[in-house]
Amino acid sequence: MVRENEVRAAERTVAAPRAADAGLVFIGRIHTPWTSRMETPRQGRHDGPTCRIEVFEPWVEALDHVADFERIEVLYWLHQSRRDLVMQSPANDGTARGTFSLRSPARPNPIGTSIARLIRIEGPNVFVRGLDCLDGTPLLDLKPDRTLFTPIAPPQAGDFQTGDP
């Protein structure tokens, strides 16, 4: 069940420390059709609506060669999330589980990630399908989908091998 900011039965909050360990820079803004968390998909779909990622200056030049990739990983800041829940009740059924066992937007550092399908790039605007965030969500980073890369280094002694426990 999608949440706003309520604390449900069986959930537990903590007094979260002041959020100052890392300084992030919002490098853009994501434009989507969704203005309410209740309507926003829980995970994006590659056949979902085209969304526009607006990249701010001075980062537009960093889009060079992004169009070489068919899928990009989008990292964003789920800015309306509460950040103090340690136990959550996704179904709101009186049971709860730990925040780190969930992809819920409510987390100490509310970073969302999606692998999106690249449609096109026009100047500072990157058009993609596959997002699940509210209109106006701040953009943290863009990276090529990691599965499009093969490791450069050959396997080394001590690396995990298939069949290892």
Residues in contact with ligand SAM by the rule CB under 6 A:
2, 37, 40-43, 78-81, 103-105, 112-114, 132-134, 137
At its nearest, how many Å lie between ligand SAM and the CB of residue 77?
7
Whether the bond into 58 is cis, omega within 30 of 0: yes
Nearer CB in complex with ligand SAM: 48/55:
48
- The residue among 89 and 104 lying less far from ligand SAM, judged by its C-beta, is 104
Give the C-alpha separation, 14 to 16, whole Å: 6
Residue whose CB is less far from ligand SAM, 49 or 159: 49
Cβ pair 122, 60 in contact under 8 A: no
Nearer to ligand SAM, 65 or 146 (CB): 146
Over its C-alpha atoms, the chain yields an Rg (Å, rounded) of 18
- Closest by CA to 116, choosing from 83, 70, 153, 80, is 70
Residue 21 Cβ, how far from ligand SAM at the closest point, in Å?
20
Distance in Å, CB of 156 to ligand SAM, minimum: 31
Give the nearest distance from C-beta 52 to ligand SAM in angstroms.
15
> What are the residue ranges of helices labelled H in 4-156?
none
Compute the distance between CA of residue 104 and CA of residue 92 in angstroms, rounded to an integer.
13
